[in-house]
Amino acid sequence: MNSIMNSPVAKFALYATILALGILLPMWFPNYTGQMTVMWMMVVFALTWDILGGQMGYNSLGNIFFFGAGMYATGMVQVGMFYDLAEYNSAAGGGIFNFTFSQYFTGMAAGFVVAAIVCVILAVILGRLVFGLRGPYFAIGTLAIATVVGELVSTWELVGGGQGMSMPNYPGDLGEAKFVFYSMMFVLAICTFAFLRWLYGSRFGLAINAIRDDEEKAEGMGIHTLRYKTVAWSIAAFFLGIAGAIYGNFNNFFEPIDVAFPTTTFGIFMVLMVLLGGKGTLWGPVIGAILFHVIKEVTWTYLLNLQWVALGLLIVVTVVYFQEGIMGWIMRKKPTWFGIRVEGEKQRLGDMR
Amino acid sequence: MSSATTAGESIIEVNGITKTFGGVVANKNISLNVRKGGITGLIGPNGSGKTTLFNSIVGYHPIDGGSIKFSGEEISKFRVQEIARLGLMRTFQQTRIYGKMNCVENMLISVPHRKLGFWDMFASRDKETLERADRMLEFVGLYEKRWLLAGDLSFGQQKLLEFAMALMNEPTVLMLDEPTAGINPTLINGLIDRLKRANEEFGITLFVIEHNMRVIMNLAEHIYCLAHGEMLAEGKPEEIQNDQRVIDAYLGAH
């Protein structure tokens, strides 16, 4: 089988190149470290959205909820471990209250763990509510969760209400902080990709694909559909929660509507990036996220005042004319590269991926 | 209308079930027994309530009254997945397969889920299951096509794939909704042969809805006939064939 994607040498070269670029780029272009941090976050967004949206056929518009939940969870832990949360937030936090080096990092470690666990628990509970909904109703239901929670948190004074919350300041050089957060986000993106690559190769991948293709049939065959759907969402929530926790610290500040639960920006971007790259594929979300982020930043730089018009145009063109995405398009043109067999070809046993 | 049917133990016992949709009575006081290890047929004109009865048995919708027992256990309150995991499986009249997955993947995810625990969700593809999938695809004659996307198969081939998926699930009872509909007439004999072999070699009890009289008379040992949602007649194939009420129902006199 002369399949490019299946050749081990090509695969190794690809992974090595990406890892090397991930490490070298922030050294070559230190001024863009912040941008590249956000880019890897976009990759996590797209990869986690695709678990449900691409592989399982459930278009969630509320995944961004877990991003915010992780952010708030880590914020509360990182501050609450050492100071009174209400007092900290009424004084508008950071700068006035100091965190030592060890306080900062132990708080962060604990905060990330709590953020991940809280998001998984929330996904399990909310899954019971929303997985009764199908198609557009699921999209609206999940969107409602993210929007409503954003509004509710705005009235929660303990975590700063609509004013938001300042995070502890990094106990050291700010240039160093950039690289620390970049590394965290890069490692998270790599871990998310590696985990999903393994997951889609297991029975789990087959089961959620079956749910996507025909959920009623899957039920009729005895597949534990609710169990698979809940776990799929929990996995997305887990990685999104950590992404939120890192971003909260990276941004040093967050508030409910625009940073923690931004349904109209990040919440929509994650859908668009997956569509652009090709949903239901492993590489599509990665390609879509990177391309989208670059396009977005270029239009922000060179088409200022028109950036939303350009972005809107990209959305319309993708959704109307290019739903299959980049990977979908390549797969249609060159199916044999991906091990998809077409009629008339001689085939052999056991070559699954 | 229920009576002592054929000799032997019943695996499905339906007792006086009724199902209405608004004002339409789709099934009225239906009783029947499916003999363990046998092949039972269900016939009736279009709209007589055959598929509704199938749907009721597999828990697709709640019934209005009556009882359904599977292996002696009351299942009328169970949901679709629970019933499927008990080993009572059905195929659909409008064939349903996972279109964007290839035939082998369709087979691999059709393993008997009653045997799987939580962590089995993450199991990798083992050789044994792969070989069983290959054997089953060979059994229905799709081995050569096994790497094609299921959605790219012809309708008849999809029906065969659906049958193979059902066998992969190791059911105790397999309920087939018009297995020969849409299949090339020259392939029908082969399919009848495979259904019989599934029954004899794998010991799967079959309960079959069929419109093709030649097929059902050839296949089933006991036949029930529905008309207008009611049980019209039952008996051996030759008894049904010569029953004036059945003939009238099919010719529209009823």
Domain ranges of chain A: 38-263
Chain A residues touching residue B116 (CB < 8 angstroms): 224
Name the residue among B51, B52, B48 with its Cα closest to residue B18. B52
Is residue B44 classed exposed, middle or buried when 0-12, 13-18 and 19+ CB atoms within 10 A define those classes? Answer: buried
pLDDT higher than 60, residue A319: yes
Helix (H) or strand (E) holding B139: helix B127-140
Residue of chain B nearest A55, judged by CA positions: B100
Q: Are A222 and B114 a contacting pair at CB < 8 A?
A: yes
Average pLDDT on B2-18 reads 75
Distance from CA of A123 to the nearest CA of B (A): 17
Name the residue among A209, A6, A352 with its Cα closest to residue B151. A209
Q: Are B121 and A199 a contacting pair at CB < 8 A?
A: no
Contact B205, B175 (CB under 8 A): no
pLDDT higher than 90, residue A352: no
The DSSP symbol for A54 reads I
- For residue B174, what are the contacts with CB-CB under 8 A and spacing of at least 6? B89, B90, B91, B166, B167, B198, B204, B205, B206, B207
| SS3 call for B12 | strand
For residue A314, the one-letter residue type is: L
Q: How is A287-332 classified by DSSP, letter by letter?
A: HHHHHHHHHHHHHHHHSTTSHHHHHHHHHHHHHHH-TTHHHHHHHH
| SS3 call for A172 | coil
Q: How many CB atoms lie within 10 A of CB A27?
A: 9
Q: Is B94 in CB contact (< 8 Å) with chain A?
A: no
- What ipTM was reported for this prediction? 0.89
Domain ranges of chain B: 10-251
Average pLDDT on A103-115 reads 96
pLDDT higher than 80, residue B150: yes
Confidence at residue A11, expressed as pLDDT on a 0 to 100 scale: 86
Contact A167, A78 (CB under 8 A): yes
- Of the candidates A202, A217, A223, the beta carbon closest to that of B96 is on A217
Over the stretch B172-229, which tens digit does the pLDDT of each residue have?
999 999 988 888 888 888 889 999 999 999 999 999 999 888 889 989 999 999 999 9
pLDDT higher than 70, residue A280: yes
- Of the candidates B105, B120, B134, the beta carbon closest to that of A349 is on B134
Q: Say if strands B173-177 and B88-90 run parallel, antiparallel, or are unpaired.
A: parallel
For tokens 């046998």, the residue is B38
pLDDT higher than 90, residue A6: no
Name the residue among A237, A240, A224 with its Cα closest to residue A123. A237
- Of the candidates A212, A221, A349, the beta carbon closest to that of B165 is on A221
Please tell us whether the domain made up of B10-251 is placed in CATH 1.10.10.10. Answer: no
Q: Is B138 in CB contact (< 8 Å) with chain A?
A: no
- Of the candidates B98, B130, B152, the beta carbon closest to that of A213 is on B98
For tokens 């899957």, the residue is A218
Q: Are B97 and A210 a contacting pair at CB < 8 A?
A: no
Chain B residues touching residue A221 (CB < 8 angstroms): 84, 89, 109-110, 113, 165, 169
Q: Are B122 and A203 a contacting pair at CB < 8 A?
A: yes
Q: Are A206 and B121 a contacting pair at CB < 8 A?
A: no
Cα A281–Cα A220–Cα B157 angle in degrees, nearest 5:
70
Q: Are B84 and A220 a contacting pair at CB < 8 A?
A: yes
- For residue A181, what are the contacts with CB-CB under 8 A and spacing of at least 6? A37, A246, A249, A250
